[in-house]
Structure 1
Amino acid sequence: MSTSTALTSTSAAIIARAAYGQTRRKLVLAFDIGTTFSGISYSILDPGNIPEVKGVTRFPANELINGASKIPTIIYYDKEGNVQAVGAEATREGIVELAEDNGWVKAEWFKLHLRSKASTTRDISDQIFSLPSNKSVVDVFADFLYYLFQCAAIYIQDTHANGAHLWDSVSDNIDFVLSHPNGWEGREQGEMRRAMVMAGLVKDDTEGRARISFVTEGEASLHYAIQRGVLAGAIESGAGVIIVDAGGGTIDISAYRCDAATKTFEETAAPQCHFYGSIFVSVHCQEFLRAFLEGSPFLEDVTYIAQCFDKTTKQRFKSNADAQYIKFGSTRDNDPQYNIRFGQLRLSGTDVSSFFEPSVDCIINAVKEQCRVSPHKIHHVVLVGGFSASDWLLKQVQAGLSDLKLNVFRPEDYVNKAVSDGAVSFYIDHFVRVRVSKVTFGSLATINYNPNDADHVRRSKKVLTDVDGRKLVPNHFYIMLPKNTQIEETKEFRDSFSMTGFDPSHFQSVTNEVWCYRGNLANPKWKDLDPDNFEEFCTIEADLSSIPLTPQVSASGHTYYRVWFQIVLLFGLTEIEAHMAWEENGVERRGPATVMYTKDV
């Protein structure tokens, strides 16, 4: 298959962008914090003008690299936990010696410490670098976000006409878009929002938190492909498309289809996220070298040799039929018994290809699964992300999917800024209006005991008695949204509740847990059927003080109070949104509700 087809046109997208309709200028900043490299894109929204997406292409210690749109995701801290070097500054010549002399600690691959434990397909704890001992992952995120913000501010002021005035006009009106892997959920979004507050980029209040939007890396990459004109043919024909965002840490797989009439997209399968990004090719290389060089005096150099592989051999690898070389030393470094001559280690091509094999297999299997479950036929597979720069990866994925007759390709600008540019497009254009649930959502509740129901009888020893004398069975799972269900953004899901009590002062607020089920039961009605796969997803806190209380008299003659209300949830957005609703004099009224997550880091 060719890596270039009619779909890879870089002409403007066929979906026209509207002019900005607000009355005040605004800045949109998108931060793509990758496992190994990070980027910034932005758009200045001027009233009446059509927005343009731009990228930050100049960073400290990277000024001489024209058009460099990414910097290494690295921070050096001193012994007191103060930031000493970030990004390209943390890779400049002499930094390793300076860090060693001053006792600095390096934080890299820190993004993976924020990963969702619930949706992780495998444990990578032993394969990634530890955080500095005095820093949490949120601390490191906050420091890096602050640095990215400063880079963006300097770049905009230095490269735009009247840049200082322009910055002053938007500095108090900035919206942020943060991208994240497909597998991250509300907990991880909450921690990123907390890092933004800690960095001082938004205030810790309702208005400040509302300035932050989240988008998955898969959806951001889709927006990028649309705006680059890559999917023009798919948009016109309504063909199914899979986006493979192959990055440093994760491989994110997303399936979409365009409604040709509305020019909007719908997700057609639950998005996937796998820890098989490019760093794990290097991890496999290092594991191989430790075994291969056992007994060699160069065993102590394995870490450095693997770093050399990462920077050169891994990127150039194209054929498993040819020997591969890792240059790491001088001409005086020789150990023929271990294939080391003149400072080069020779490996067979098949050994190097084995380092890639888990990632290749992951992509092929994930794409096949998306094709299987998608209700619409998939025609195109688009590879983006830094790992997609590997010709070997692309060739193997094309070969592995050849039996499905898919058009597998990568657009021309696959490496640099697909996610950050796409994140800005997500904010402005918002093409995706239908998404697919990754888990089954619902609530755990007590229901009236029915002696004629076999499920109830089996749980009779757990029956509770309410204040009004009713017998109730606990831990019934009320399903609001089944797994693998397409949901429109505006689709509301309601859960009805009543609350009883003797003291009116107790009806000020209520918290209710939203639960999810991650197992394989088709109809998980009871928590005790598969308890390990039920999980509290989030908590909804709502204010009840505006709801009128209804006094009632119990069978024993005591007065008690009851309120009826509904929790209204929207699952089809990139974040869960909640409201509270109740009926008053035949009219539905609504109040705000807060979505809260427990920490999972």
Structure 2
Amino acid sequence: MSWLLKSFRESKRKLVVAFDVGTTYSGISYVVLDPGRVPEIKTVTQFPAQEAVHGSSKIPSIIYYDAGGCTMAVGAEALTDGTFERAEDEGWHKAEWFKMHLRPKGMSSSPDIEDEAIPPLPPGKTAAMVLGDYMRYLFQCAQAYITEKEPNGPSLWQSVTDQTDFILTHPNGWEGVQQRQIRTAAVLGGLIPDTQEGHARLSFVTEGEASLHFALRNGFPKDDMGLGEGVLILDAGGGTIDTSTYVKKGTKRYEEVATPQCHFNGSIFVTMAAQAFLREFLAESEFIEDLDHIVQCFDKTTKQRFSNSQEGQYIKFGKTKDNDEAHSIRYGQLKLSGQEVASFFEPAVRCIVKVVTEQQESSGLEYLYVVLVGGFSASNYLYSEVTKQLELQGCQVMRPDNYVSKACSDGAISFYLDHCVQSRVSKYTYGSFANVYYRPDDNDHYSRESSVFVTLAGEKRLPGAFNTVLPRVCRHSRLLTAYAVLMIYRGPTLKGTKVTEATEFRSSYCQLFQSKEDFRAFTSQVWSYRGDLPEPKWRDVDSDSYVLVCTIKVDVDDILKHAKSHRQKGSKGKFYKLEYDVILLLGLIEFKAQIAWKEKGGVERRSPAKILYDYHRASLDI
């Protein structure tokens, strides 16, 4: 029985296209939404030079640029022999694994791998620029496929030119900075115009949540899964291993019950471990000059078919005349022991078992379905090793028989059509720093007396107090008052870390300024605390664990015209006091913010707020 049974209820045809841009391979899915018809999710299975691709529903994440920065070959075309020879002769630059350049700071790779091992971007290119070029190509592939395969394809495409929505997947660990860069790439790639209406046509979903939708639509876990039972989606891809844990709450209704995790231990790190081993092993061999080719052969063949650590493994890279007995090379084949190859996989296996254990403990679920998706999950060795260890701790491990590599793109469309996740778990404690009334009888205050300042109203204030808006741990919300930055949470008492998409978190500000013009440059910052303190209170305690999430730019023109602002007199003379609220929606995949204020008569008005990100502090390579 299909997971999606509802017909499309809007009055105008729409096209929805999902891109799952992976570290090594990418996929495209789409759905044509016709009024009154039941949606059918489809996958693009035909690409230029498709014969060079392993599997019909994925395309290599590779681009070649010439010396001038022009795109010369993309995807499967970049793997042809003719392209390789031309690239060598003409000095083209190859962009691969470019998604890794967007990864957040603080999210390290496999501990045994240096970041320098990740291929650099081509000269003059940023990660957003390369991603934009690649998404432009994916969109061209989608257009070619739809116009050829769909009935009346050319006219259908013409009818949805301005009615196309995009949904893009990203790893669980990606945050606002990465989402904004992906939006920039979508504009550069011509997917959407750089307007408010254009950006409204693009949305995100985490790879974990997209994979949950894919699993449910394909009968994983089984249809008779009971209420209160848990399912962990383990998306093992080229770059990352993402885990998300949910509990079933009803028909088509799930709740996230543990903080999702993202680890850089995907399949490329198996290849990188093999490269590091072979570089040392062949250091004294004449075939060290063929190292890159040998590693490529390992990646394409040996790694894919490896399943038994007790059997010798071979990397066929040369001709029958190529021999070096001292380095286990005979007839163009390099022999490795099964244990040596298994050691390349060991960090990934260890990572998966550890993170599943942590998710199980965090969720409190003794029995757990573990569903493996993603291209790396196709590895029989990875699957068998993970299964053996996880079954010992009450987990039932499952893997879809087919198309594990297209789980994210198909699941992204399913997510767009039918949100089945009712609430998510906050990863961190979120809040802002506030200036609080100075209380000399409070030890925390007294020890910071040197930082006290006097406001325009003549009040003694102490800066650096952390006002929690959304806690990661279970506790009651608390109330802080401050003038320079006044933040209070007015919603219901928080229970644990579950946040629904509709939950609003208000931060009420009371700003003092000498003139209305002084207020025009005002911005507000949202911070996250990522340390171990159960209740962070002060910026100077465990200060390295505070991370700036974003800056909210306040458009004050309407507020100054309509909001209540009162001119008052203090010890330093006359000043203005202006009250308004910053509203955050933290239960969404993407941060949203609004500004609210009271007009004369007490009527609340709202307007969008612009969210700014500090790219240099929050990402590795923009």
What TM-score range do you get, normalising by the shorter chain? over 0.9
Partner of 2:468: 479
Do structure 1's residue 112 and structure 2's residue 127 form an aligned pair?
no
1:521 matches 2:509: no
Three-state SS of the structure 2 residue aligned to 1:514 is: strand
Equivalent position of 1:244 in the other structure? 234
Instruction: Say which of 400, 422, 427 aligns to 1:411.
Output: 400
2:611 aligned with 1:595: yes
Shift of residue 235, structure 1, vs aligned partner: 4.5
* Candidates 25, 38, 43, aligned match of 2:26: 38
The verdict on how the C-alpha distance between 1:566 and 1:375 changes in structure 2, with shifts beyond 3 A counting, is farther
Which residue number corresponds to residue 535 of structure 1? 547
CA shift, 1:64, in A, is: 8.9
Which residue among 219, 230, 236 is the counterpart of 2:209?
219
Distance in 2 of aligned mates of 1:481 and 1:174:
35
Question: In structure 2, the residue corresponding to 1:456 is in which secondary structure?
Answer: helix
The residue identity in structure 1 corresponding to 2:123 is: S
Would the aligned equivalents of 2:221 and 2:371 in 1 still touch at CA under 8 Å?
no
1:313 paired residue among 302, 307, 323: 302
1:377 deviates by: 4.0
User: SS where residue 444 of structure 1 aligns?
Assistant: strand
- Asked if the contact 1:487–1:572 (Cα under 8 Å) also holds between the matched residues in 2, the reply is yes
Q: What is the 5 A alignment of 1:435-474?
A: 435-474=424-463
Contact 2:168 2:412 in 1 (8 A): yes
Matched, 1:184 2:200: no
- 511-520 or 496-505, which moves further after superposition? 496-505
Distance 1:376 1:563, change over 3 A: farther
Aligned partners of 2:252 and 2:420 also within 8 Å: yes
Is residue 2:149 matched to residue 1:159? yes
* 2:116 maps to 1:126: yes
Q: Any conservation in 1 of the 2:167–2:204 contact (CA below 8 Å)?
A: yes
The amino acid of 1:567's aligned partner reads V
Q: 1:496 and 1:527 mapped to 2: Cα distance?
A: 20
Deviating 4+ runs (over 6 angstroms) = 63-67
- The structure-2 alpha-carbon separation of the partners of 1:331 and 1:556, relative to structure 1 and needing over 3 Å to count, comes to closer
Is the 2:456–2:571 contact (alpha carbons within 8 Å) kept by the matching residues of 1? no
Q: Does the Cα contact within 8 Å between 2:438 and 2:461 map onto a contact in 1?
A: yes
Is residue 2:63 matched to residue 1:75? Answer: yes
For residues 266-281 of structure 1, what are the structure 2 equivalents within 5 Å? 266-281=255-270
Amino acid of the structure 1 residue aligned with 2:141: C
2:486 is the counterpart of 1:498: no
2:577 is matched with 562
Q: CA deviation at 1:198?
A: 1.1
Which among 565, 570, 591 is matched to residue 550 of structure 1? 565
| Matched letter for residue 480 of structure 1 | V
Q: Deviations over 1:519-548 (max 9, x none)?
A: 111111001001111111011123333343
Shift of 1:121: 6.2
Distance in structure 2 (CA, Å) of the matches to 1:284 and 1:141: 26
Contact 1:234 1:240 in 2 (8 A): no
Q: CA RMSD in A?
A: 1.7
CA positional deviation for 1:413 = 2.1
Of the structure 1 ranges 288-297 and 537-546, higher mean CA displacement relative to structure 2 is found in 537-546
- Taking the TM superposition and a 5 Å limit, the aligned residue runs for 1:573-592 are 573-584=588-599, 585-592=601-608
2:224 matched to 1:203? no
Instruction: Provide the secondary structure at the position in 2 that maps to 1:417.
Output: helix
Question: Partners in 2 of 1:172 and 1:450 — Cα distance?
Answer: 59
Deviation track 1:259-302 (CA, whole Å, cap 9, x = no partner) reads 12x52111111111111101111111111111111211111112
Q: Residues 232 and 588 of structure 1: is their aligned pair in 2 closer, same or farther, counting only changes over 3 Å?
A: farther
1:372 aligned residue: 361
Counterparts of 1:531 and 1:190, CA distance in 2: 26
Distance 2:403 2:57 in 1: 12
Can you list the C-alpha shifts for 1:311-346, whole angstroms capped at 9, x where unaligned? 111111111111111111111011111111111111
TM-score by length of 2: 0.92
Task: Report if aligned partners of 1:239, 1:377 keep a CA contact under 8 Å in 2.
Answer: no
Residues 331-372 of structure 1, C-alpha deviations (whole Å, 9 max, x = no match): 101111111111111111110100000000000000000000
1:120–1:337: structure 2 CA closer, same or farther, 3 Å change rule? closer
Kept after mapping to 2: 8 A contact 1:551/1:559: no
Q: Secondary structure at the match of 1:416?
A: helix
Instruction: Compute the displacement of 1:414 (Å).
Output: 4.4
Task: Quote how far apart the aligned CAs of 1:16 are.
Answer: 4.1
Which amino acid in the other structure matches residue 204 of structure 1?
A: D
Which residue among 381, 386, 394 is the counterpart of 1:392?
A: 381
Which residue of the partner structure matches residue 264 of structure 1?
253
Question: What residue number does 2:334 align with?
Answer: 345
- TM-score normalised by structure 1 residue count: 0.95
Distance in 1 (CA, whole Å) between partners of 2:342 and 2:564 is 69
Return the alpha-carbon distance in structure 2 between the equivalents of residues 235 and 402 of structure 1.
Answer: 18
1: CA distance, partners of 2:65 / 2:524: 41
* Other-structure match for 1:3: none
Within 1, Cα distance between the matches of 2:367 and 2:590? 27
- Cα gap change, 1:557 to 1:451, in 2 (>3 Å): closer
SS of 1:554 mapped into structure 2:
strand
Tell me how far apart the structure 2 counterparts of residues 273 and 234 of structure 1 sit (CA, whole Å): 29
**Cα distance in 2 between the residues matched to 1:335 and 1:524:** 61
State the secondary structure of the residue aligned to 1:473: strand
Q: How much identity, in percent, do the aligned residues show?
A: 50
Match of 2:494 in 1: none
Distance in 2 (alpha carbons) for counterparts of 1:69 and 1:387? 15
Q: Structure 1, unaligned stretches of length 5 or more?
A: 1-11
Distance 2:352 2:180 in 1: 29
Equivalent AA in structure 2 for residue 288 of structure 1? F
1:293–1:461: structure 2 CA closer, same or farther, 3 Å change rule?
same
Could you report, residue by residue, the CA deviation over 1:52-99 in whole angstroms, capped at 9, with x for unpaired residues? 110111111116979711110000000000000000000012222110
SS at 2:547 equivalent = strand
